[in-house]
Amino acid sequence: MSVFVNIIDKIYSPATIFLGLLGTFVTIIITLINIFLKTNRQKALIRNQTIKSQINLIKLFVELMNIIDGRQKTEISKEFIEGIINKITSINNEEEINKAIDYIKKNAYFSQPIGKASQNAIASAMYYFGIKYDILLEPALMGLKELNGITINVSSENLTMLEEKLAKLKSKQK
């Protein structure tokens, strides 16, 4: 029996060490796989957030460009429409109703005017956004060139700087 105990003792100690090392190794591998998967999920999440941020930035940019172009939200005058409706003498008179509807379609909508100072300030911001954010560079240049002299005045130096930056950016992409 002592021979059997000696054999088990000689096998048990190395086997215990081996199993302990194997368990540690498996735990390390599983941990590394989890870290890798978590890192990839975080990268995908960051990439998605970046795309959403860029979309929101472009939406804001387009809204600002509309303001430079003198466009704001069109509103409709509820009071105007009520006044026209109250002038209709008979609900059964289709001709009168159609005339009222046409008049409303042509005259009930209005837009608030945009001040020149606001347009110029936003034009300066568009230039800044074009310089700061590569994704807005080309839209800023195109919009400012299109509106230059019409609703805003952009210095030729600023347009040249945007054009040069765009050329550098495109040459890097090739």
- CA separation for the pair 97, 31 (Å, rounded): 75
> pLDDT digit string (tens) for 81-109?
888 888 877 778 888 888 888 888 888 77
Is 127:158 a contact under the CB 8 Å cutoff? yes
> pLDDT digit string (tens) for 48-90?
898 898 888 888 888 888 887 776 777 777 888 888 888 877 7
- CA separation for the pair 67, 69 (Å, rounded): 5
Percent of the chain residues past pLDDT 90, beyond the cut: 14
Q: Phi, psi at residue 49, to the nearest 5°?
A: -65, -35
Domain ranges within the chain, ordered by starting residue: 1-71+113-174, 73-111
Is 123:114 a contact under the CB 8 Å cutoff? no
